[in-house]
Amino acid sequence: MIDSSLKDIAAALRDRKVSAVELATESLARIDAGNPKINAFVTVDRDGALAAARAADERLAAGNGGPLTGIPLAHKDVFCTEGVLTTCGSKMLSNFVSPYDAHVVSLLKAAGTVMVGKANMDEFAMGSSNENSHFGPTRNPWNTDKVPGGSSGGSAAAVAARMVPIATGTDTGGSIRQPAALCGITGIKPTYGRVSRYGMIAYASSLDQGGAFGRSADDCAVLLSAMAGHDPRDSTSLEQGPEDFGRECTPAKAQPLAGLRIGLPKEFFAEGMSDDVRAAVDAAIAEYRKLGATIVEVSLPNTRLAIPAYYVIAPAEASSNLSRFDGVRYGHRAAEYGDLNDMYCKSRAQGFGGEVQRRILVGTYVLSHGYYDAYYIKAQKLRRLIANDFAAAFTQCDVIAGPVSPSVAFGIGEKSDDPVQMYLSDIYTIAVNLAGLPALSHPAGFGTGGLPVGLQLIGNYFGEARLLGTAHQFQQATDWHRQTPAGF
Amino acid sequence: MSLSLDEVRHIAKLARLELAGGDLDATQAKLNGIFGLIEEMQAVNTDGVEPMSHPQDLAQRLREDRVAESDRRAAYQSVAPQTEAGLYLVPKVIE
């Protein structure tokens, strides 16, 4: 049943052909069978899931179910879940049982979803491979020697392995889109401010944005519609009411995308993409042309500056956000220490992994006396230029298309000792976060070694429904999103 | 640019991170790799460009000045490493 579309599962629940308890049991059984191979979960909440499923069944029996009532899901372990371990992939929070729910978690509980567990992730969402987790790397279900991408690697792998039909994630520099691409599923990061950051453990606050993973764009639309909305507890939450992001996911017809202008940024296609990714991306664009879309060339001239700008802004914000982990109020405290300062220094050195420490150090440096203008302000000026590039491009097209990742999933250990190589793989995703735009990744075929390739669609501000509707038309004409890795 | 070992020690001190002696060289090398990448920014002329701190240039919202939170001290302190009588315990800071 978990292999079905969300709408089919919801219909079966509503018609009482399957119960929420049966679905939760199926999901837990798949986790039991598959998780030893891919390590997608940090925590499995069996009792909580069955209790939530029983409550969902009561709601459904009373005729009060919604589109997500009784649907099993995984939350990325960055979201605080009351009474359930919330680690953020870090030793620092390896003992943190959250005393409250994130806004997203509250909304999805109210919608009647059944959380089966917390998904593995790069520590504090810093990484592109999931290798930075304190709880060991998640493995790609398509080939367990490969990374699933990151930082939401556990969420993406759990959906790809059909342990759950949907999962939450967060995207600060590509952390939803890149793992969605590498695991062969669909994932969307909405416009900055759509999804409340309350209770979403902060990495880089001006870039962090929650979003959705599912098999298809249609499934992502259902989940995102339930996650988004104004929350006064997040000062950057947009003051917008509920929205049906699936409203453009309309039935198939001839030339469904007639009139849609898809822009291809020439800088994305100039160099850097591996041949197999290029072939799949080109074929997907040809398919869009067949669906009636017009393809135009656009330019994002400052694309290459997105990586240096991001790796100033994100570490700067991280160094400030992560100063809260001091071994006093929550999280890890060193067993032995001298004075207060020594307690801070030892607790933080023991609690944070290597990549997190490096980003804190970079951020501390760029914000320190005498360097602020040369780095942080400079990066913010580049951020403006990058956002302006998109604004200019969107005068010529409705949606921008391109690759998500320069290559298919790479090997575990292949780049883990070279942060700069790892950062360079974010080239196609990072500019979107700097500008705050919505973007999704959908399956677009397979490359070397039978590993999935994703296509990225970038929309203008508040263009989620258009993006999801566009991807939905592609998915009605193709079946890449229906492929399942062998053994799952 | 390239950071000296003393600069790495200084940043670590500011960041309240204890770097063990052996880690220092490796950290220095990786940080210098990252700053090599970051330096590419300096080649671009950004004179007259307004810095962008945030995707939405919105004014901060204000709310009425009234109590909105309930007292959940016990729940919040249940996750603290060390508390006593409702207080967080840390090493002595005043002799």
Can you give the CATH number for the domain in which A96 is found? 3.90.1300.10
Mean pLDDT, rounded, for A204-232: 97
Q: Which of A404, A153, A366 is nearest to B34 (CA)?
A: A366
Q: Which domain holds residue B35?
A: 5-43
- Burial (CB count <10 Å: 0-12, 13-18, 19+), residue A242: exposed
CB A339 within 8 A of CB A304: no
Alpha-carbon distances of A399 from A265, A293, A396, rounded to whole Å: 11, 10, 9
B19 falls within a domain: yes
Helix (H) or strand (E) holding A103, with range, is helix A103-110
CB A131 within 8 A of CB A416: yes
Can you give the CATH number for the domain in which B25 is found? 1.10.20
Question: A170 — phi, psi (to 5°)?
Answer: -135, 155
Residues 6+ apart with CB under 8 A from A240: A194, A229, A230
B11 falls within a domain: yes
Helix (H) or strand (E) holding A464, with range, is helix A464-477
Residue A118: predicted pLDDT: 98
Which pair of structure tokens corresponds to residue A113?
């979803």
Alpha-carbon distances of A407 from A107, A175, A194, A395, rounded to whole Å: 36, 15, 30, 30
B77 falls within a domain: no
List the single range of A39-43, A194-198, A420-424, A472-476 with lowest mean pLDDT: A420-424
| Beta carbons within 10 angstroms of residue A420's beta carbon | 15
Q: For the segment A128-138, what is each residue's pLDDT rounded down to a tens digit? A: 999 999 999 99
Mean pLDDT, rounded, for A367-371: 91
Which pair of structure tokens corresponds to residue A149?
């991408």
- Burial (CB count <10 Å: 0-12, 13-18, 19+), residue B74: exposed
Domain count, chain B: 1
Which pair of structure tokens corresponds to residue A459?
């929309």
Verify whether residue A151 is a known catalytic residue.
yes
Which pair of structure tokens corresponds to residue A420?
């700069």
CB A257 within 8 A of CB A293: yes
| Beta carbons within 10 angstroms of residue A414's beta carbon | 16
CB A406 within 8 A of CB A272: yes
pLDDT band at A41 (very low <50, low <70, confident <90, very high): very high
Q: For the segment A61-97, what is each residue's pLDDT rounded down to a tens digit? A: 999 999 999 999 999 999 999 999 999 999 999 999 9
Q: For the segment A275-309, what is each residue's pLDDT rounded down to a tens digit? A: 999 999 999 999 999 999 999 999 999 999 999 99
CB A110 within 8 A of CB A124: no
Question: A322 — phi, psi (to 5°)?
Answer: -85, 0
CA closest to B37 among chain A residues: A308
Tell me, yes or no, if B48 comes closer than 8 A to chain A by beta carbon. no
Judged by CB atoms closer than 8 Å, whether chains meet at B56 and A435 is answered as no
Give the torsion sign (CA, A245, A40, A414, A143): negative
For A18-107, list the strands marked E by DSSP: 41-44, 72-76
Helix (H, G, I), strand (E, B) or coil at A77: coil
Minimal Cβ distance to B41: which of A206, A308, A331? A308
Verify whether residue A76 is a known catalytic residue.
yes
Minimal Cβ distance to B38: which of A304, A312, A424? A312
pLDDT band at A124 (very low <50, low <70, confident <90, very high): very high
In the predicted structure, residue A176 carries a pLDDT above the cut 80: yes
Judged by CB atoms closer than 8 Å, whether chains meet at B19 and A349 is answered as yes
CA closest to A356 among chain B residues: B17
Residue B54: predicted pLDDT: 87
Cα–Cα distance between A121 and A131 in angstroms, integer?
A: 8
DSSP single-letter state for residue A327: S
Residue B95: predicted pLDDT: 75
B15 contact residues in A (CB cutoff 8 A) = 319, 348, 360-361, 364
Domain count, chain A: 1
pLDDT of chain B along its 95 residues, tens only?
789 999 999 999 999 999 977 789 999 999 999 999 999 999 999 999 999 998 887 777 888 999 988 999 999 999 999 999 999 999 998 87
The total number of residues shown for chain A amounts to 488
B16 contact residues in A (CB cutoff 8 A) = 323, 326, 341, 344-345, 348
% of residues, chain A, pLDDT over 70: 100
pLDDT band at A337 (very low <50, low <70, confident <90, very high): very high
CA of A242, closest CA in chain B: separation in Å? 19
Q: Which of A220, A155, A211 is nearest to A183 (CA)?
A: A155
Residue A62: predicted pLDDT: 96
Which pair of structure tokens corresponds to residue A42?
């940090």
Q: Which domain holds residue A258?
A: 1-488
Verify whether residue A5 is a known catalytic residue.
no
B20 falls within a domain: yes
Residue B56: predicted pLDDT: 82
Cα B32 from chain centroid (whole Å)? 19
Phi-psi region of A201 (alpha: psi -120 to 50; beta: other; left: phi over 0): beta
Residue A240: predicted pLDDT: 87
In the predicted structure, residue A417 carries a pLDDT above the cut 90: no
Residue A165: predicted pLDDT: 98
CA closest to B14 among chain A residues: A364
Cα A365 from chain centroid (whole Å)? 28
What mean pLDDT, rounded, does chain A reach? 97
Give CA torsion, residues A36, A220, A193, A103, to 10 deg. Answer: -60
Residue A25: predicted pLDDT: 98
B10 falls within a domain: yes
Q: For the segment A44-66, what is each residue's pLDDT rounded down to a tens digit? A: 999 999 999 999 999 999 999 99
The total number of residues shown for chain B amounts to 95
CB A477 within 8 A of CB A463: no
Tell me, yes or no, if B80 comes closer than 8 A to chain A by beta carbon. yes
Question: A324 — phi, psi (to 5°)?
Answer: -70, -20
CA of B5, closest CA in chain A: separation in Å? 13
pLDDT band at A30 (very low <50, low <70, confident <90, very high): very high
Q: What's the pTM value of the predicted model, to 2 decimals?
A: 0.97
Cα–Cα distance between A132 and A8 in angstroms, integer?
A: 36
Judged by CB atoms closer than 8 Å, whether chains meet at B34 and A374 is answered as no
